[in-house]
Structure 1
Amino acid sequence: MSTVRSPYFKRLRSSAPKKSKSNAPLTPALDSKKAKVTRTKVKLEPQDSFSGKFTGTKSNSHETKAYVNRKEVKQENPKWEPVLWKKQLANIRKMRQSKDAPVDTMGCEKCKGENYSEKDKRFHTLVSLMLSSQTKDQVTHAAMLRLIEHGLTAETVSRIPDEQLGKLIYPVGFWKKKVIYLKKTAHILKEEYDGDIPDDIDGLVKLPGVGPKMAYLAMTCAWNKVVGIGVDVHVHRIANRLKWVKSRTKLPESTRKELEDWLPQSYWREVNWLLVGFGQQICLPVSPRCSDCLNKDICPSSTAKTKMHK
């Protein structure tokens, strides 16, 4: 049999790569393929009509495109709230069942004259809130009784001499400044609101001597509209002691914003009343009665925790 090879075979053999003496891989085609796999890129692009699944299509350039709805991928962080707040609040409700704190009998809702119109009663609520700043409920209530007996409307306050008004409200805290605030507020209400009080927060806080706490409580107690939490020194103090704020707050207004951020609105009406009375009887500013508190084992600031909870 003839062993003569065709010219085509000789040309093909001569064009083949020569064997290298180096330690090059024996299967360059396979290595090249692996290199392409390692360089594969994945691009995430939104698709208008998303079916809820990832779908891929491979292109000629070895790039895989996966389509995904960004709204499906984005996960919102859960809303922050104190871990034990429901249990703590339930315990405070139990401690407030007797309703015998000063706020229960002498708070702003108890400072209304009987033989007055609804408009004048709303004015009474606002005046009691203005007098209550830096003043105990007992002192505020006594001053309100004197004012009501004298005749308490926006009209009468606008006409009463400053000296006489001062005698009626003394000894509430900062009584001299409050005389000025009451007279200016009465004039504004008489001229702009027909003797009534504003029915929104913006209008209330524009009145002389009226801050956010008073405005939110006036909306709740006078207008029966719960639009925010009234935070006084008691609510501010207790919210920080219970760690109902993410970090310690220095101002009551900061505490209000923190509470409203997580506390369900259905609790906004009662939380002021609950915490104020609780702060007047148990969670005192100085030397709180932790041993008498039902939250003593679950309050971060408790000084009377039992040994098993320490």
Structure 2
Amino acid sequence: MTSPYFSQSRSGVPRGGAHTGGRRPADSLGSRLSRRRRNVDPVSSVEVKVEVEEARISEPGPSSAPLSAVGCHEQASVQPKTETDALPLSSRGRRRRQIKVEYDEVKPLVKTEHWEPPDWKKQLGFIREMRSVRDAPVDNMGAEKCYDRDAPAHVRRFQVLVSLMLSSQTKDQVTAAAMQKLRAHGCTVENILSTDDEMLGKLIYPVGFWRTKVKYVKLTSAMLQEEFGGDIPNSVEGLVRLPGVGPKMAHLAMDIAWDQVSGIGVDTHVHRISNRLFWLRKPSKNPEGTRKALEEWLPRELWSEINWLLVGFGQQVCLPINPLCSVCLNQHSCPSAHKNSPTKRPKAGSPHSPSPKFSVKTKTEPELESAFKDERTRKKSMSSPVSPTTQRRRLKTKLNH
């Protein structure tokens, strides 16, 4: 061993512990360690104390484990504790500022369910088969057939728009006849503006609401000349700004005139048939609601085809009143097949409307005989000729009463 403590103890201290040679006995190991601790620098002790206290504070919760032996000895030589050090360990732990951890709420992804009618592909295939001949009025006299194919492009587009405006609430046969007269007169923006209202009314008569349509056609022509240079707008937003042009006309004009599919053109036939086939998630009350409902699920590549398919189908088979369900290929899959159109309810007070206030009284046999006798007498008096004297007498009797 090279330690000085062990070397001095061997040379100066006998086994029995008696002093020898008059020399001062060597200090024991314990006394030397005690003296060394008393001479330790107080600054280093404070640092050790702080480290020990910080270590205890960082522990989760109050600890009941005793300090190490070195820490217990050094506490005696440390300066008096401050007020903070005198607090219990649990109090010092609570005085630390707490950190609030906030988590961003992660919203679950909502999967949108794609709804579509169960048998729509089968039903559409049957409608295509029934419309394969294409001999309905819309096929021969629709807006696609009413413009002059030899006219300039902007004139053809204007004639398509005019034919769509005239077709509202009007059969295709009447619209085609009116457009034929307009084309013979000159169906251009300049000619329409130079024609007076009376003459224009005679040209388009007898389309539905022809007086109102005369006003709309004149206003639209003036707006096209001022804002669009005689051509029609190439957007739905621009078309619906024109007087008398609605969403159905705008989408059809975009398809026919500009060869752009912007939406489904829904008229009364498309609206009626879509509701009868239950092609809507909820029944629609107007064509615009039907258009929005159809565009939610119907593939876009079918938007242009669906109009002329359903219009011709509604003109020939799925009629507004008494549809021909017996010849329809969809009669086994259509929810509305073989159901007659609802009859109109009789007005209140009419002979056919039952009155809840009064109960129906069944006449007995004697009363029936009396009623028949009165009826025969009344008819006999009405059929027999009445002399002027008798008429004056009856009139005088009524006046006296």
> Is TM > 0.5 for Structure 1 vs Structure 2?
yes
Structure-to-structure mapping, 1:175-194, within 5 angstroms? 175-194=210-229
In structure 1, the residue matched to 2:392 is none
In structure 2, the residue matched to 1:90 is 125
Structure-to-structure mapping, 1:30-49, within 5 angstroms? none
Larger radius of gyration: 2
TM-score by length of 1: 0.74
- State the 1:158 CA deviation: 1.0
One-letter code aligned to 1:227: S
One-letter code aligned to 2:134: K
**Identity rate of aligned residues, in percent?**
60
Hey, what's the Cα distance between the residues in 1 that align with 2:255 and 2:106? Answer: 42
Equivalent residue of 1:206, what SS? Answer: coil
Equivalent residue of 1:283, what SS? Answer: coil
Hey, what's the Cα distance between the residues in 2 that align with 1:120 and 1:180? Answer: 20
- State the 1:75 CA deviation: 5.0
One-letter code aligned to 2:273: I
* 1:148 maps onto 2:183 in alignment: yes
One-letter code aligned to 1:192: E
One-letter code aligned to 1:219: M
In structure 1, the residue matched to 2:115 is 80
Hey, what's the Cα distance between the residues in 2 that align with 1:70 and 1:80? Answer: 27
Q: Choose from 216, 234, 244 the match for 1:209.
A: 244
One-letter code aligned to 1:267: L
- State the 1:114 CA deviation: 3.2
Hey, what's the Cα distance between the residues in 2 that align with 1:74 and 1:214? Answer: 39
Hey, what's the Cα distance between the residues in 2 that align with 1:259 and 1:220? Answer: 17
Equivalent residue of 1:173, what SS? Answer: coil
* 1:257 maps onto 2:299 in alignment: no
In structure 2, the residue matched to 1:223 is 258
- State the 1:191 CA deviation: 1.1
Hey, what's the Cα distance between the residues in 2 that align with 1:238 and 1:110? Answer: 24
Structure-to-structure mapping, 1:153-302, within 5 angstroms? 153-302=188-337
Equivalent residue of 2:163, what SS? Answer: helix
Hey, what's the Cα distance between the residues in 2 that align with 1:179 and 1:239? Answer: 32
One-letter code aligned to 2:129: K
* 1:101 maps onto 2:136 in alignment: yes
Hey, what's the Cα distance between the residues in 2 that align with 1:205 and 1:155? Answer: 21
CA offsets 1:243-299 (integer angstroms, 9 cap, x no match): 000111001000000000000101001000100000000000000000110000000
Provide the alpha-carbon RMSD of the alignment: 1.4
Equivalent residue of 1:171, what SS? Answer: coil
Hey, what's the Cα distance between the residues in 2 that align with 1:289 and 1:146? Answer: 34
One-letter code aligned to 2:175: T
Gaps of 5+ in 1: 1-68, 305-310
TM-score by length of 2: 0.58
- After TM superposition, the runs of 4+ consecutive aligned structure 1 residues lying more than 2 A away are none
One-letter code aligned to 1:297: H
- State the 1:182 CA deviation: 0.4
The aligned length equals 236
CA offsets 1:70-98 (integer angstroms, 9 cap, x no match): 68x63514201000000000000000000
* 1:111 maps onto 2:164 in alignment: no
In structure 1, the residue matched to 2:173 is 138
